[in-house]
């Protein structure tokens, strides 16, 4: 049975993210029992005070850190629940940068989708103009070398094939 928003057992968290307020609900038993070891704070909107103090403990699922600084808050960018829900903004952006490199595209699907719940991330991937400036010349050089190596391999294989055919046609007695 899901607790309703009007229930006194529900704690509502407001997380500031990109100048928008996202509302997250967690039952008090789940919050008190499963989220430990951190110092992240959340604003309490409703609920009774038994079993939960004013600062609910939150942990980043990427770095396992619990400290929050201005500009590096713990946010819930996707539909994950429980201990997998919270992540630092900087940790998420670092993960998204890594997924952009693996995916090979700025708007890579890997960088915009949560790898746990497969939901769409609310935080857009960071732009990477430096990597793009670095990759474009390298891509041209890489493809040029790849084309050159392919041409050499093709020509060598044709030479070997012609030699083998001529040896077969001439016969073993004349070679």
Q: What is the CATH classification number for the domain harbouring 22?
A: 3.30.40.10
The CA R_g of the chain, rounded to the nearest whole Å, is: 28
Q: Which of 49, 7, 15 is nearest to 32 (CA)?
A: 49
Which has the closest alpha carbon to 78: 133, 123, 40, 43? 123
In 98-137, which positions are buried (b, 16+ CB within 10 angstroms) versus exposed (e)? ebbeebeeeebebbbebeeeeeebbbebeebeeeeeeeee
Could you give the number of structural domains in the chain? 2
Report d(CA 51, CA 37) in Å as an integer: 16
Residue 15 structural domain? 10-126
Angstrom distance (rounded) from CA 20 to CA 136: 35
Residues 101 and 163 in one domain: no
Q: Please, are residues 86 and 76 in contact by the beta-carbon 8 Å criterion? A: yes
SS3 22: strand
106 and 136 inside one domain: no
- The torsion angle over the Cα atoms of residues 25, 87, 15 and 120, rounded to 10 degrees, is -80
How many Å apart are CA 79 and CA 29, to the nearest integer?
A: 19
Indicate if 38 and 95 belong to the same structural domain: yes
pLDDT computed for residue 25 by the predictor: 40
Please report, in tens digits, the pLDDT of each residue of the chain (175 residues total). Answer: 444 444 433 333 333 333 333 434 443 333 333 333 333 333 323 333 333 344 567 889 889 888 888 878 888 999 988 888 899 998 998 888 888 776 665 556 778 888 889 888 888 887 766 666 677 678 888 889 999 999 999 999 999 999 988 888 887 665 5
Q: Are residues 88 and 173 in the same domain?
A: no
For the entire predicted model, the pTM comes to 0.43
pLDDT of residue 81: 87
């Amino acid at each position: 049975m899901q607790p309703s928003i009007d229930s006194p057992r529900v704690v509502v968290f407001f997380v500031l993210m990109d100048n928008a307020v996202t509302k997250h609900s967690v039952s008090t038993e789940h919050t008190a029992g499963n989220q430990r070891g951190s110092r992240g704070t959340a604003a309490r909107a409703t609920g009774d005070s038994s079993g939960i103090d004013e600062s609910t403990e939150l942990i980043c699922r990427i770095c396992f850190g619990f400290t929050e600084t201005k500009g590096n808050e713990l946010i819930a960018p996707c539909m994950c629940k429980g201990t997998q829900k919270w992540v630092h903004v900087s940790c998420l952006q670092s993960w998204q940068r890594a997924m952009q490199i693996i995916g090979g595209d700025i708007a890579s699907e890997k960088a915009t989708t949560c790898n746990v719940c497969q939901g769409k991330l609310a935080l857009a991937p960071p732009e990477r103009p430096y990597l793009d400036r670095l990759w474009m010349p390298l891509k041209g050089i890489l493809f040029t070398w790849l084309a050159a190596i392919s041409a050499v391999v093709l020509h060598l294989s044709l030479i070997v094939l012609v030699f083998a055919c001529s040896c077969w046609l001439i016969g073993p007695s004349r070679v």
